[in-house]
Amino acid sequence: MQLSNSEEQLMQILWKKEKAFMKELIAAYPDPKPATTTIATLLKRMQDKNFVDYVQYGRSREYFPLVRKKDYFSKQVNGLIKNFFNDSASQFASFFTKESNLSQDELEDLRQLIEEQIKRKKA
Amino acid sequence: MQLSNSEEQLMQILWKKEKAFMKELIAAYPDPKPATTTIATLLKRMQDKNFVDYVQYGRSREYFPLVRKKDYFSKQVNGLIKNFFNDSASQFASFFTKESNLSQDELEDLRQLIEEQIKRKKA
DNA sequence: AAAATTATTCTACATTTGTAGAGTAAATTC
DNA sequence: GAATTTACTCTACAAATGTAGAATAATTTT
């Protein structure tokens, strides 16, 4: 089960906060803020999909993510790579390198990083 | 307007074929193939969203993409980068380099590519 | 303690998506 | 030329999504 758009947006907020009560989540929205019932519905659906859980404190709940942002993101990217590059990460990397408008400095940094990565693998 | 999942799947077929009549599109599906009316509906919706158009030949239509796969893909990736890396392509690149399981050779190729890219920019 | 506020659940409803039958008009086959 | 097939449009309908009011129960304020 995937998150829908509005669920994902809420998830982003929750990832940033790490954990939060509903009121805090709503506070994090830009105006016009959604109705509390809207968020309650989304949270419930996200629980059903096993993306969040909560700890009860008195009559309130502190929600927290069950899925790490990093993992979720990876899944998204891998999905894209599968659909558009026939599952080839390197083809994607090549495409990205050419098409993204990384600056000279950013490219340098990236090269640096890749070199480290190469070394690490060798070791 | 974005493509929905099943629309995107159909779009992938159309990108591959470059242009096609409905029957060819359906033929490209694995079994169980969708009903022709299903595809007709999807195509109509995709026309409304301005993702495909067609040329009429007799009583049939040859459909073709109005959006290049590359551009569509870029938009997807940029959306992800915006949501997950605060719009920083280089942060994304760094993450990807670390997290993807590129082989030693692939990393080498990538470094090569980046070096070329750096040179090109310098020129 | 009555009034107001809060936190959550239940219900609701419009839109979008996934999927396809029924109908119709043209083209092909018998 | 009657029967069948083809290509497409119209209509339909269940499930998912986006959004929120009404109801209820607990909590705080006056």
Mean model confidence pLDDT for chain A: 93
Residue A52: predicted pLDDT: 96
User: Any idea which residue has 């990565």 for tokens?
Assistant: A117
Contacts of B115 in chain A (CB under 8 A): 111
Contact B72, B79 (CB under 8 A): no
Rounded average pLDDT per 10-residue block, chain A, 123 residues: 94 95 94 92 95 92 95 94 92 93 93 93 76
State residue A85's pLDDT score. Answer: 92
pLDDT of B5-50, one tens digit each?
999 999 999 999 999 999 999 999 998 899 999 999 999 999 999 9
Q: In which band, very low, low, confident or very high, does the pLDDT at B68 lie, cut at 50, 70 and 90?
A: very high
Tens-digit pLDDT profile for residues B70-88: 999 999 999 999 999 999 9
What does the radius of gyration of chain A's CA atoms come to, in whole angstroms? 19
B56 touches strand C (CB under 7 A): no
Residue B53: its pLDDT value, please?
A: 96
pLDDT at A89: 94
B87 touches chain A (CB under 8 A): no
**What confidence tier does B64 reach under pLDDT thresholds 50, 70, 90?**
very high
What pLDDT shows up at residue B66? Answer: 96
What integer pLDDT is reported at residue B5 of this predicted model?
A: 94
Q: What is the pLDDT of residue A58?
A: 85
Q: Is residue B91's pLDDT more than 90?
A: yes
Residue A105: how many other CB atoms lie within 10 Å: 10
Q: Residue B97 and residue A115: Cβ atoms within 8 Å?
A: no
> Is residue B122's pLDDT more than 80?
no
CA of A16, closest CA in chain B: separation in Å? Answer: 11
Place of tokens 């030693």: B104
A chain contacts of residue B65, beta-carbon cutoff 8 Å:
none
CB atoms A83 and B122 under 8 Å: no
Query: Quick one: which of B3, B103, B63 has its CA closest to A90?
Result: B103
pLDDT at A1: 84
Residue B120 Cα, gap to closest chain A Cα (Å)? 10
* Per-residue pLDDT at B109 exceeds 80: yes
CA of B49 to C1' of D8 (A): 19
Q: Could you give the CA distance from residue A45 to residue A54 in angstroms, rounded to a whole number?
A: 13
- Provide, in whole angstroms, the distance separating residue A63's CA from nucleotide C11's C1': 24
**A17-23 contacts, C-beta under 8 A, 24 or more apart:** A18/A64, A18/A65, A19/A62, A19/A63, A19/A64, A20/A62, A20/A63, A20/A64, A21/A60, A21/A61, A21/A62, A21/A63, A22/A60, A22/A61, A22/A63
